[in-house]
Amino acid sequence: MIELNHTHDVDARSWVDTANVAGSDFPIQNLPYAEFRRIGSPEPFRGGVAIGDQVLDLASLAAGSHVDGLALDAARVAALPALNDFFALGPTAWQALRHAVFALLRSDAPAATVDDLRKCLVPQAHVQYTVPARIGDYTDFYTSIDHALNITRLFNPEGDVTPNFRWIPTAYHGRVSTIGVSGQRFHRPMGQTLAPGAKAPTYHACARLDYELELGVWIGEGNAAGEPIPLERAEEHIFGICLLNDWSARDIQFWEMAPLGPFLAKNFATTISPWIVTMEALAPYRQAWTRPADEPQPLDYLESKANREGGAIDICLEVWLESEKAREGKSGPSRLSRTSFRHQYWSVAQMVAHHTMGGCQLNPGDLFGSGTISGPGKGEAGAIIELTRAGQSPVALANGEQRGFLEDGDAVLLRGWCEKPGHARIGFGESRGTVLPAKG
List, by residue number, the catalytic residues: 147
Q: Closest Cα partner for 98 from 17, 198, 6?
A: 6
The answer to whether the peptide bond before residue 296 is cis (omega within 30 degrees of 0) is no
The rounded radius of gyration (Å) of the Cα atoms in the chain is: 22
Choose among 410, 428, 409: nearest CA to 418: 428
Coil vs helix vs strand at 242: strand
Give percent helix, percent strand, percent coil of the chain, each to the nearest 5: 25, 30, 45
Amino acid, single-letter form, for residue 206: C
The pair phi, psi for residue 171, each rounded to 5°, is -165, 170
Phi-psi category of residue 226: left, alpha or beta, with phi > 0 → left and psi -120 to 50 → alpha: left
Which is nearest to 101 in space by CA: 12, 232, 200?
12
Alpha helices, H only, 37-194: 58-63, 69-78, 84-89, 91-105, 111-118, 145-155
Q: Give the residues across from 249 on adjacent strands.
A: 209
* Residue 14 DSSP label: B
Report which of 97, 77, 80 is spatially closest to residue 88, judged by C-alpha positions: 77
Contacts of 108 (CB under 8 A, 6+ apart): none
Using CA atoms, how far apart are residues 419 and 284, in angstroms rounded to an integer?
A: 9
Q: Please check whether residue 265 is in contact with residue 252, taking contact to mean a CB–CB distance below 8 angstroms.
A: yes
As a whole number of angstroms, the distance between CA 127 and CA 62 comes to 19
DSSP state of 106: B
Please enumerate in sequence order all residues whose Cβ is within 8 A of that of 250, keeping only pairs 6 or more positions apart, or say none: 206, 208, 209, 210, 265, 385, 390, 405
